[in-house]
Structure 1
Amino acid sequence: MTTGKARDRVVTVEVEPGGALRELRIEEAALRLDPSELSRRILGLVERATAQACKRLGMDGATADVLGLAPSAEVADAIEETTPDTWSVQ
């Protein structure tokens, strides 16, 4: 399982390898965000956590792509620079 948290800690996601969303925590402060911004943050955290989980399993990019789990180029670059179980993004 991989956990991703927004830097301001208002959104936290946990995903299983393969991208299954296991937990989504939204703090009250997140409700002040514009709905499209909150959605963008959640989806971004899920994408990054999924990419991180795939990397930890040793899944190569081709396999992730076939399974529909390949991250965007931006996320792939960010994942190359990080390997912790928990990380933060804006």
Structure 2
Amino acid sequence: MDPQETMNGAPVSEEQIAAWAAEAEAGFDVSALKKRGRGRPGRGAEPSQVVALRLTTSELAAIDDRALKEGKSRSEIIREAISNSPSSAA
């Protein structure tokens, strides 16, 4: 195995690979696998769109600082800022 192989930033061990192989050989409950949803959960009745946004390093740092302090994601902070803007109240 390549020592550079990682999963979520952590090295993957031979033991983990063996455990995955044993799990696969034992078989999977197909009905349980089909119950899992695909993709991220919806945010409401309407479909949502992904929007690319360019921010400076300082703008992104400010969002990340606030998100960390409030225990929220970047997206939540940005959505709150938009919903609290003066033009959204009109």
- For this structure pair, what is the TM-score category when the shorter chain's length is used for normalisation? under 0.3
TM-score (normalised: structure 1): 0.23
More strand by share: 1
Query: Which is higher, the Rg of structure 1 or of structure 2?
Result: 2
